[in-house]
């Protein structure tokens, strides 16, 4: 089930498997993140060193990699593009060339579907339960036959779990705790054995991997991710590689596990498309 709760211009979207929260998104209806938007764009600068081009979108700018259709475009060319990644910090949106005749000036042609319609398209069998009649009316043409109104689309248990996603810590099985520190270059996840310190470290770390991966998805952590598992010697860390790869397979963004660093961190890369939750709060 996909549960949607609207508060003003913000819609919260939760994918539930039974009682388990498996994905979570924020959707700002007034100022969407732009993913999927279609623009007429103008090539403003060709940058061979970056293997791409900077494009004007009218009131914003974006980067078009050569690999996304920009290789043959010269400065001043007009082209139709789609936003494939939301702006990040001081970086503009990531773009890809798409079909369509560009307009006479750079600017927005149409908005992207937003995270709810994207999720509903990826999971066409899921019912969509909303607590807002006005939003239901807007979505009915795209989701006819799948919508149901429920004033408590987010029950008390779900509200509590969603509230916990704003914290830089998360409880893990057996009393362990996950601490999350975000930076521009990477996200560090530190595992504290806490009250589980009496449990053999290998058993503990293996048991908590699925929840670590679930929290990464719920918070939409992306880019480089480093995990510092608790209390393991260097020779033991490699035994966590296969359980970690197996848990990552449930993530629709298909993160890559790169191995363990010399400092002992498990290194992951996860595609950034929409902003992580901590950026929505900032």
DSSP 175-213: G-EEEEEE-SS-EEEEEE-GGGTTS-HHHHHHHHHHHHH
pLDDT category of residue 281 using cuts at 50, 70 and 90: low
Q: Which residues contact 71 (CB under 8 A, 6 or more apart)?
A: none
Write down the pLDDT at residue 235: 84
Complete DSSP assignment for 108-164:
EEE---HHHHHHHHHSTT--EEES-HHHHHHHHHHHTTTEEE-TTSS-HHHHHHHHH
Mean pLDDT value of segment 144-148: 96
Q: What's the pLDDT score for residue 199?
A: 83
The answer to whether residue 231 scores a pLDDT higher than 90 is: no
* pLDDT tens-place string over residues 252-272: 999 999 999 999 999 999 999
The reported pLDDT for the residue numbered 82 is: 98
Q: What is the largest CA-CA distance in the chain?
A: 68
- In 3D space, the residue among 97, 66, 75 whose CA is nearest the CA of residue 84 turns out to be 97
Q: SS3 for 89?
A: coil
SS3 173: helix
What does the pLDDT look like over 12-67, one tens digit per residue? 999 999 999 999 999 999 999 999 999 999 999 999 999 999 999 999 999 999 99
| Residue 282 confidence (pLDDT) | 47
């Amino acid at each position: 089930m996909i549960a949607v709760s609207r508060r003003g211009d913000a819609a919260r979207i939760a994918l539930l498997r039974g009682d388990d929260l498996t994905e979570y998104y924020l959707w700002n209806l007034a100022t969407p993140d732009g993913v999927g938007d279609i623009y007429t764009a103008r090539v403003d600068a060709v940058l061979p060193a970056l293997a791409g081009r900077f494009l004007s979108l009218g009131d914003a700018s974006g980067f078009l990699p050569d690999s996304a259709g920009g290789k043959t475009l010269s400065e001043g060319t007009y082209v139709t593009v789609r936003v494939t990644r939301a702006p990040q910090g001081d970086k503009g949106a990531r773009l890809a060339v798409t079909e369509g005749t560009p307009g006479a000036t750079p600017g927005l042609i149409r908005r992207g579907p937003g995270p709810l319609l994207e999720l509903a398209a990826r999971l066409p069998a899921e019912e969509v339960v909303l607590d807002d009649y006005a939003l239901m009316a807007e979505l009915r043409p795209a989701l006819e036959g799948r919508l149901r109104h429920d004033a408590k689309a987010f029950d008390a248990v779900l509200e509590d779990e969603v509230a916990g996603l704003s914290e830089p810590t998360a409880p893990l099985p057996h009393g362990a705790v996950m601490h999350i520190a975000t930076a521009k270059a990477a996200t560090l996840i530190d595992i504290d054995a806490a009250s589980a310190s009496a449990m053999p470290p290998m058993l503990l770390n293996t048991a908590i991997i699925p929840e670590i991966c679930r929290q990464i998805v719920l918070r939409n952590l992306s880019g480089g991710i480093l995990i510092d598992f608790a209390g393991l010697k260097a020779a033991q860390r490699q035994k966590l590689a296969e359980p970690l790869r197996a848990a990552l397979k449930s993530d629709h963004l298909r993160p890559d596990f790169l191995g363990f660093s010399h400092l002992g961190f498990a290194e992951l890369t996860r595609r950034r498309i929409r902003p992580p939750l901590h950026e929505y709060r900032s």
